[in-house]
Copies of this chain bind each other. A is one copy, B any other.
Amino acid sequence: MPVFLDATSPDFEQSFTALLNAKREDSPDVDATVADIIADVRKRGDAAVIELTNKFDRVSLTPDTLRITDAEIETACTQVSAEDRAALELAAERIRAYHARQLPKDEQWTDESGATLGWRWGAVSAAGLYVPGGLASYPSSVLMNAIPAKVAGVGRLAMVVPAPDNVLNPLVLLAARLSGVDEVYRIGGAQAVAALAYGTDTIAPVDKITGPGNAFVAAAKRRVFGKVGIDMIAGPSEILVVADADNDADWIALDLLSQAEHDESAQSILITTDAAFGRSVAEAVEKRLETLERAHIAGPSWRDFGAVITVPDLATAAALTDRIAPEHLELCVADPHALSDQINHAGAIFLGQWTPEAIGDYVGGPNHVLPTARSARFSSGLSVLDFMKRTTLSHMSPQALRAIGPAAERLASSESLEAHGLSVTARLRKLND
């Protein structure tokens, strides 16, 4: 059973805090193993990558077969049905259109002192995309990571995807092709992350690595951070639905289950202004769990971490939402825009009853890589900006230096940084000659 909370009950604060702080995931500590793997790849390069991959994935790679050839990708793509291909193409097109709007603008201006200031954005030269193998090998994740990189202007995008027992998902390769991925390697785990970060004879190093993975991949990304950039380390998925009584309980139940079915550690929460509706949704969830293919995953998630919270009004719903800072937020109320305006912290908001969260996972356009574990308080979903960086620009005219240089001299002196001050003084002296 999920927990049922009532925001007006005297012990609510205590129960809600417990819900917020519940530890949902026990990541195994694989850091020492991962450190060894990275050191091995740095030392032995391809040989280490191949040895580890052959062992973990039960395959027989050689340096010549590390990379998946264009011909292999072509062949795999022909195995995809026309319907699946059309769906993937629609998704790619919509994701590209959304992310193209995120491209930031360069700026430059001259201020009243005569200083010309500004910044410009540039793309990361090379990026690496980790794609899990096996069950969690999602073509949608390839689109969501690769398209922003290519829209940003990343010149070289290398993807790694393990092929345990030589099985590869043709849809993943088609997604890579539709996204413009430049190179694909059939490797995975910490060794693949190390190869992307440090390079081997076969794989040139990249500057930024994104994409989801298991505990080994997460630990490897943490370890190579600094040498390369990484995206966030994602935790288990979450959804918060705020719904009034004027909804179909079954729809809301399915929305909650669409996160719960990802992972036993996923969390689905309903906040409703109507306690009876909350009970109906919980009943609808149980009913759906009777037949759902992934009930063995969604059931434990819902029972261990699910919650139904009754609130007296939508203002309370907004306040609780900010404390949860959900990854996905669905607003199924009469005026979802008004409620949205009251909320500060959420990764993605889905407005109204015709916008199930699953639309956002695939074809809506916005990115589905979103901040989990309350990190929407301080971070954002993946975007074009994650594959770009900004260089600031300053140009002083002689008169600008004359105008603001003395203040710099003064501050350098107050910080006892003499050479800083002298670098200005020497120039001002020339100007005042």
Q: Which residues of A contact B (CB under 8 A)?
A: 83-84, 86-88, 90-91, 94, 97-98, 101-102, 107, 109, 111, 115-117, 119, 122, 124-125, 135, 138-140, 171, 207-208, 226, 228-229, 233, 248, 250-251, 254-255, 257-258, 260-262, 288, 292-294, 298, 336-337, 340, 344-367, 370-371, 373, 375-381, 383, 385, 389-398, 400-401, 404-408, 410-412, 414-424, 426-427, 430
Contacts of A363 in B (CB 8 A): 404, 407-408, 411
Contacts of A336 in B (CB 8 A): 395
| B350 lies within 8 A of A410 (CB) | no
The CA of A426 and the CA of B401, in the complex, are separated in Å by 67
Q: Which listed residue, B87, B366, B405, touches A117 by the CB 8 Å rule?
A: B366
Contacts of A398 in B (CB 8 A): 354
| A395 lies within 8 A of B94 (CB) | no
Assuming A260-B419, A366-B117, A401-B354, is B410 touching A389 (CB within 8 A)?
A: no
Q: Which listed residue, B90, B258, B370, B407, touches A407 by the CB 8 Å rule?
A: B90
| B391 lies within 8 A of A122 (CB) | no
The CA of A351 and the CA of B345, in the complex, are separated in Å by 40
Assuming A87-B410, A261-B420, A378-B208, is B117 touching A365 (CB within 8 A)?
A: yes
Minimum C-beta distance from A228 to chain B (A): 6
Max chain B C-beta neighbours (<10 A), residue from A83, A207, A417, A421: A417
The CA of A418 and the CA of B358, in the complex, are separated in Å by 10
Assuming A355-B396, A394-B349, A394-B350, is B419 touching A294 (CB within 8 A)?
A: yes
Contacts of A292 in B (CB 8 A): 418-419
| A107 lies within 8 A of B97 (CB) | no
| B101 lies within 8 A of A107 (CB) | yes
* The 10 residue pairs across chains A and B that have the minimum distance between CB atoms: A229-B378, A366-B392, A87-B410, A257-B419, A254-B423, A87-B407, A358-B420, A351-B395, A356-B423, A380-B390
The CA of A66 and the CA of B412, in the complex, are separated in Å by 30
Assuming A88-B411, A408-B362, is B380 touching A389 (CB within 8 A)?
A: yes
| A405 lies within 8 A of B347 (CB) | no
| A381 lies within 8 A of B390 (CB) | yes
The CA of A360 and the CA of B371, in the complex, are separated in Å by 34
| B115 lies within 8 A of A407 (CB) | no
| A91 lies within 8 A of B407 (CB) | yes
| A414 lies within 8 A of B358 (CB) | no
Q: Which listed residue, B207, B293, B361, B419, touches A378 by the CB 8 Å rule?
A: B207
| B352 lies within 8 A of A418 (CB) | no
| B417 lies within 8 A of A364 (CB) | no
Q: Which listed residue, B258, B356, B377, touches A124 by the CB 8 Å rule?
A: B377
| B391 lies within 8 A of A349 (CB) | yes
Q: Which listed residue, B228, B261, B293, B356, touches A427 by the CB 8 Å rule?
A: B356
Assuming A293-B418, A347-B391, A391-B347, is B356 touching A407 (CB within 8 A)?
A: no
